[in-house]
Amino acid sequence: MRISISGKNINISEALTKRVEKKVGKLSRFFGDDVEAQVRLTVSKLRNICEVTIPIPGGGILRAEESADNNMFSAIDEVCEKLERQVRRHRTRLEKKLKTGFEPDPNLYQTDELMAEDDDFAIVREKRFTVVPMTPDEAIEQMELLGHTFFLFLNTETGGVCAVYQRRDKDYGLLIPEK
Please report, in angstroms and rounded to a whole number, the separation of the first and last CA atoms in the chain: 29
What's the CATH code, domain 2-99? 3.30.160.100
* pLDDT tens digit at each of 179 positions of the chain: 889 999 998 888 999 999 999 998 888 887 777 888 899 999 987 889 999 988 877 667 788 888 888 888 999 999 989 888 888 887 777 677 677 765 555 555 544 444 444 456 678 888 887 888 999 998 888 888 777 888 999 999 888 999 999 988 888 999 998 87
pLDDT of res. 104: 53
So where are the chain's domains? 2-99, 133-175
The model's pTM is 0.57
What's the CATH code, domain 133-175? 3.30.505.50
